[in-house]
Copies of this chain bind each other. A is one copy, B any other.
Amino acid sequence: MSTTTQTTDRPTGTDARTGDLRVGIVGAGLMGADHVKRITERVSGAVVAAIIEPDAGRAAAAAANAPGAQAFTRIEDAIAAGAVDAVLIATPGQFHEPVLLPALAAGLPILCEKPLTPDSTSSWRVLEAEQQLDRPHIQVGFMRRFDAEYQQLRALVESGEAGELLMLRGVHRNAVVPDTYTQTMLITDSVVHEFDVLPWVAGSTVASVEVKYPRRNRLSPDHLREPILVIIELANGVLVDVEMNVSVQFGYQVATEAVFAESIARIGQPSGLQQWKDGRFSVADHTSFVTRFAAAYDEQVQRWVDAVRLGTLVDGPNAWDGYKVALACEAGVTALNTDGPVPVVVPERPAFYA
């Protein structure tokens, strides 16, 4: 940690005086503001050194939680000022590429909120830019990999003690979504998480995507036809079926049941204070991803900060993972209007990402 005597052997990419990683947060919306608070209050070894946000009001609001942080409207300016050691991108997906490319050009480590970019073509351009560097610099914010229960489930798969993994059966339920949420976002905003985390659990990749429609929920916004059942075949034969449901009214739930040759495992079940009242035994469940994955977000950022300070730069899903998810999302969007499975063809992995 920071001490007077450390200035000469400080990790590359940290403040010479404090030893803390100077992070630039790009985008000060809901997600960005949350990361500002996280880094300032809960993450060790990092400070928010800059907030890069064109909207002055948002920037000021976020800066209130980051004393001393500089304000920029463009990433290029923050880089030119030498103000940041690393970049955390929290803008909407369509604005990722214009930040990723200059940050890569400057050789900065990046934690990029999902998706890497909205489509596989632009993601591929990002991969090409990254491959100009000595090693991967981008980590993608699929925070479920940092959730303790997903980690336990993956460890169970790897241990082999439950036998070979055969199926994964998932649910992803939101109480409600805003009117701005579109049919396509069922895939690109929500199922996108399953496309990353479930193959990661299973040790494989997505081979095809299919969408089935049950009876529509009349409480959904008029323009949505959901819930949907998404059936995903993995390259290793594991079959996944995920219920994607964004109008379930009662709360927020992400759960998975894994079917092994000799055992069943289940994650994402309710826990915490139990109460008997009015004839029922009950437990409060989550109502938002904010509480459901609070610890995972903290862990994700802490581990990324640690990795950057140690010089490994990435500790989590990388840009190649982000690219594969972009491919799966494209198939998923096609599957919304196609009968039967839509194949996902993943090119050979560049050696750079080995």
Residues of A within 8 A of B (CB): 1-6, 15, 17-20, 39-45, 47-49, 66-69, 148-149, 152-153, 156, 162-167, 169, 171, 173, 212-219, 227, 229, 231, 236-239, 241, 243, 245, 247-251, 253, 257, 259, 261-267, 269-285, 287, 295, 302, 306, 339-340
Most central of A4, A148, A238, A280 by chain B CB within 10 Å: A280
Question: Which 7 residue pairs spanning A and B have beta carbons closest together?
Answer: A3-B68, A271-B271, A214-B239, A215-B237, A282-B282, A270-B281, A18-B18
Taking a contact as CB atoms closer than 8 A, the residue among B41, B162, B238 that contacts A215 in the complex is B238
Give the docked Cα–Cα distance between A245 and B40 (Å). Answer: 41
* A210, closest chain B residue (CB): B212
Contacts beyond the supplied A217-B261, A270-B281: 9 A-B pairs with Cβ under 8 Å:
A3-B69, A166-B227, A248-B259, A249-B262, A250-B276, A263-B277, A264-B275, A279-B285, A280-B285
* A42, closest chain B residue (CB): B44
- Chain B residues, Cβ within 8 Å of A276: 250-251, 253, 263-265, 285
Q: Is the CB of A43 within 8 A of B41?
A: no
Taking a contact as CB atoms closer than 8 A, the residue among B20, B68, B261 that contacts A6 in the complex is B68
- Chain B residues, Cβ within 8 Å of A217: 163-164, 166, 261
7 contacts between A and B (CB under 8 A): A2-B2, A3-B49, A152-B272, A166-B215, A212-B231, A267-B274, A279-B287
Give the docked Cα–Cα distance between A210 and B340 (Å). Answer: 11
Q: Is the CB of A279 within 8 A of B284?
A: yes
Give the docked Cα–Cα distance between A149 and B274 (Å). Answer: 10
Q: Is the CB of A239 within 8 A of B265?
A: no
Q: Is the CB of A277 within 8 A of B262?
A: yes
